[in-house]
Structure formats: structure tokens, C-alpha cells
Amino acid sequence: MSASRQQTHDLDRGSSILSARLKENGRALLAPAVRLAIALRLTPNTVTVIGLLITIVAALLVANGWLLAGAALLTAGSLLDAVDGALARAQGSGTAFGGFLDSTLDRSGEAILYIGIGAWLLATQPDPTWPMIALMIALAGSFLVSYSHARAQGMGLTADVGLAPRTERLVLVIAGIALAGFGFAPGLIGVIAILAALTVATVIQRIWHVWRLSQAAAPDLKEN
């Protein structure tokens, strides 16, 4: 491995709010759910669609003020979101379309959830202007985080770094909704503001990371 390739490999290691070990432990807990899905003869794409439907119902609950129920359902939906990938690996049935469907429905679910939160803000807050602006920034930032990852892959690079990839964002949103469900509405509003800041920071991190990767790979291109 050349020095520039080693540098590229090292640059690919990034940090996020949740540690890699914590995520790995979480995946290990999915084994029973994967076995159940296999027993029920569910395909990864079916699990992906079910996860979106659960998110839609959760967003409706949140929009109508059933925050704790929405948070609980979102937790179940987030587990399903992790199951589809684990199921595909266990069955050896991962396909290009499956990856495309999973990514597309993930973005759809996130947008639908934010719409539900926005409806709740408009219905309950005396002055929802700034929370709604923060929510729009968080939603736009979330989409840009995902886009930057996909665009880097299209260039043959990786952009998995950053403080707030999707799992971290979902954990924060569920926590904020639960806080509001327990009567602490500023908790959810604060989480929205944090998400707005973190997603913007993550996009900047990924732009910087891809630039460094492209610079590290440049000597190899010249050598070839």
C-alpha cells in the first residue's frame, strides 16, 4: 500500500456521537429479530417497507400530540430499520435495488417524521417561528448529510464521518419527542436546535473529509 493510499485509509476513520462499539453491540441485539424475520419468510425489502409504514403512523401520532406513543413506535421502527440490513446479510440476499430502496425510504421516513413534528409545533407552540426554522434547517441538513455520502460514493470515495449520521439523528429525535411527551416541550425544541447545528456541522465535516481524500488520492492517480 502506497503512502497516499494508507493516508486515504486513515482519513476514512471518523467519529460520531455514538461509538462504533456501541453500534456493534446494538447490532448484536438484533439477532432474535433477524431469526424471527427469517422464520416468517420476510424479505429485507418487505422489512424496509414495514419500517416506513411504522414511521408514518408514528409521525401521525406525534402530529396529534400522542408523543410517548409516537416515541415508542419510532423506537420499534428504528429497530426494523436495522433489521433489514442484517437480514440481507444473513440471507445473502442483498441487491443494488434493496440498497436503493432502503436509502430512499429512509429519507422519506425522516421527512415524514419532521413534518409530524412541525405539525405538533404549529399546534402547540405560541410562537413556532424559530422552532420551525430550526426544524427546516435540521431537515435540509439531514438530506445534505445523506447526499454528501451518496455523492462521495459516486466518486469512488467514502464519507461516513461526522457527528450526526442517521442513527444518531434518530436517537436524538426519539429522546426529544419522549421529553415532550413527559411534559417538557423545550426538550424537543432544544433537540431540534441541536440537530440543526449538528447536521450542518456534519455536512461541513464530510466536505472537508472528501477534499482530503481527493488530495490524498491525487498522487496515486499521477503515478498511474
SS3 119: helix
Report residues of the chain scoring pLDDT below 70. Answer: 1-31, 91, 93-94, 217-224
Question: Is the residue at 224 inside a domain?
Answer: no
pLDDT recorded at residue 182: 96
Half-sphere exposure in the Cβ direction for 20 (13 Å, CA) = 6
Does residue 9 sit within a domain? Answer: no
Give the other-Cβ count within 10 Å of 138's Cβ: 27
**The total number of structural domains that make up the chain:** 1
- Is residue 143 in a domain? yes
Q: Is residue 213 one of the residues assigned to a domain? A: yes
Q: What is the pLDDT of residues 18-58, one digit of tens each?
A: 555 555 555 556 667 777 777 777 788 888 898 899 999 99
pLDDT for 26 equals 54
Provide the pLDDT for residue 38. 76
Greatest C-alpha distance within the chain? 63
In the annotation, is 106 catalytic?
A: yes
pLDDT reported for residue 10: 40
Name the amino acid, one letter, at 192. Answer: I
Q: Provide the H-helix boundaries in 65-164.
A: 67-91, 96-124, 129-154
Cα-trace Rg, the chain:
19
- What grid cell was written down for 221? 492517480
Domain range for 40: 16-218
DSSP code string of 197-217: HHHHHHHHHHHHHHHHHHHHH
Among residues of the chain, what percentage have pLDDT more than 90? 49
Position 3 in a domain:
no
Domain assignment present for 223: no
**What DSSP string describes 69-92?**
HHHHHHHHHHHHHHHHHHHHHHHT
| The predicted structure's pLDDT at residue 1 | 42
What pLDDT does residue 5 have? 44
pLDDT at 4: 42
Q: How many residues make up the chain in this entry?
A: 224
Interatomic CA distance for residues 5 and 44, integer angstroms: 34
Query: Which CATH number characterizes residue 29's domain?
Result: 1.20.120.1760
Q: Which residues are CB-neighbours of 187 under 8 A, at least 6 positions away?
A: 175, 176, 179, 180
What pTM was estimated for this model as a whole?
0.82
Q: Which of 102, 106, 127, 160 is catalytic?
A: 106
User: Which pLDDT score is estimated for 11?
Assistant: 44
CB atoms within 10 A of CB 210: 20
Dist. CA 208–CA 70, nearest whole Å: 36
Report if residue 156 sits inside a domain: yes
Does 4 reside within a domain?
no
pLDDT at 114: 97
